[in-house]
Structure 1
Amino acid sequence: MIVSCVLMYFFISHSAVSGMDGLQNYMIKVDPQDGDSPITFNVDPKALFPQFEQEIQETKESFLLRSVIATTIIILLSSVCTYFLTKKALTPLQKLTSEVSQIQAQNLSTQLPVPNSKDEIAQLTSSFNEMLTRLDNAFSTQKQFSANAAHELRTPLAVLQTNLEVFEKKQKPEMIEYRQLFTMIKEQTARLSQLVGTLLDMTNLKSVPRTDQVSLEELVDEVFCDLDPIAEKAGISIHFNDSSNQDLHTDVTGSYVLLYRAVYNLVENAIKYNRPHGSVSVSVKQENGQAMVLVTDTGIGISPENQKKIFDPFFRVDKSRSRAMGGAGLGLALVDSIAKEHRGTVKVLESSSAGSTIVLMLPVDNS
């Protein structure tokens, strides 16, 4: 603002002084009445008015002085007004800064008061409150996840510690007791290894490249080849309902490793929690720009209140059965995370006492 006033002062002063200097010479043009050519001649004002030049000089000096005084007054008044206006305008921002500085990890649920001004500060406060809500939800989820993970890790460690302490008190343990101890240690360490591996997979999802061109039909075929021995051992029949044209494939862009793990977990889960001599069928189809992998089993079904919870980490509908099968409640949670990383979703499509259908939906690669 000061620079603008100074530049304006120099511009106006220069224009006024140049105009005054132009008064020193006049050219007069006379048009005769009889139609002859116009007559022009120069007139020097100083010749007519001897004091004219001095008056011009005094007027220029007076004008420059008044211009300096006026410019200085304008700068001072504008600076004072700007100071108070800026201070008043920044007061809500300073208040917001003070309130934000008091937010800690322990009080993320605190909501800042939104002013009624409906200006940018109000919009900023509302946006900050929304961010606090998201952070609070994320922290709460992370705390719950950490607590559940600690509990799941502590259970096999407690079993190991208890059995070792009991075995230590035996004076002359027999060979069969050694074998039982080794079997127990092997089972619990395998459970720990599986749990730690799954936790690491869930934390490293974002670092895995997702640029592969994946044919879902070929991926399901590979999953069936790997799970066929497990299904046969459990007495479960598995079927791939590939009704599509053999020359056409449903392709998606993503990580083959992660998508394989997602489909593998869905089919394995359907095998584990199935009825004796039940069946699992998988089909792939494309609809409304979405590729869908549908996994249908003949299990006992999932209650409506649990159909969303089964994708939460460490959630198990039947905890005793899950523990007996070595599950930690992370299989479907990992599927949900993989789906989200591929801009997709996974959900229970339908469920009843005759069985359930879970669908994994992914955006189709149209290239």
Structure 2
Amino acid sequence: MLFDGMPNLVVAATGARLLVNPGLDRNRPYGEAERAILSLEGARLAHSTISAWPGYAATPVLSLDALAAASGLAAIAYKHEGRRFALKSFKALGGAYAVERLVVQRGSAEGLTVTCATDGNHGRAVAWGASRLGVKAVIYVHETVSEGRATAIAAFGAEVRRVPGNYDDAVRASAEAAAANDWTIVSDTSWPGYDLIPRDVMQGYAVLAMEAEEQGAAPTHVFVQGGVGGLAAGVLSWYWELQGAGRPRVIVVEPETADCLYRSALAGRWTAVGGDLDTIMAGLACGEPSQLAWALLAPGADAFVTIPDARAADAMRDLADLGIAAGESGVAGLAGLRAIAGDAACRAALGLDGASRVFCIGTEGATDPVIYREIVGRDPEDVERMSA
């Protein structure tokens, strides 16, 4: 139903909220200001660097024909990042790439210590990248990060420090420690005075769209995870600079309890949200948008969707039935699509119809097998064995 006084806002029967971006300008060219943040040239450099790493392979783009038919769409393409290196997450393209760029720019790894805050996957990628290059890493996690995810970070030799509060509290703790110890922050979140390294992180994320294009994906719509906005901005930047006003519609999906991008769009300005940000989509439990990411999303993203946790759990089980083990945050884009695809007003607002080809990024596999088993009722190895 449409909300009175807010014609851009639609709420579906599934509990999802859709906000067509009031600040959208699809005819705005991708100019010098945008290229100073992210560019095709930067994405190609990231791709050439990452593709030279041992074990690199473009992650598969899977056709979800049954879900597309059930949703009244021509196609749903799902990029399965659960097969990205040993990390089972797209974050290898960002955090690990930024660590390598840092070492290259310094000319040496000697004496370098990197730090960051994480909900799990980013810290794991930074720790992995640091381990590859002989760099010390100190990773901050907040109180609700699962022990399984903290252990996975420590397995790469990083020191893991747990702090009270939420993700944004961990960001502050990491920044304070970096200032006190002369460490280097490798964050996917930017703030005033800190924006160079987050550009490298986000630039690595654009490789996802570049790979997908090489694999034949030609979407009319892209549903992509929110969080601080780095992934969404990276993907948007590729399509926007390459295709201009003819690019696919980009829809950003967030948990309803951690909806800083949705609220920023609603307010027409960068906006932080407070509270415990509690959601099963742990990788998206962020209260403050990246300012760099928001500079691209504010004029360039087509819409913002928020979903309740139940929709993510449903999507995990739907994918398990297809032999795909996907984590809670990894399914958010697909869950957002599924949550609104049955609502006539949402479909009309986004131009979704029987000819639409939708691209979703499955940003993580079952990065915490214990949590995955609790939600899906099966072990991820058994699920993936179905499609082997």
TM over 0.5: no
The TM-score with structure 2 as length reference comes to: 0.24
Q: Which has the higher contact order (CA 8 A, sep 6+)?
A: 2
The TM-score with structure 1 as length reference comes to: 0.24
Larger CA Rg, structure 1 vs 2: 1
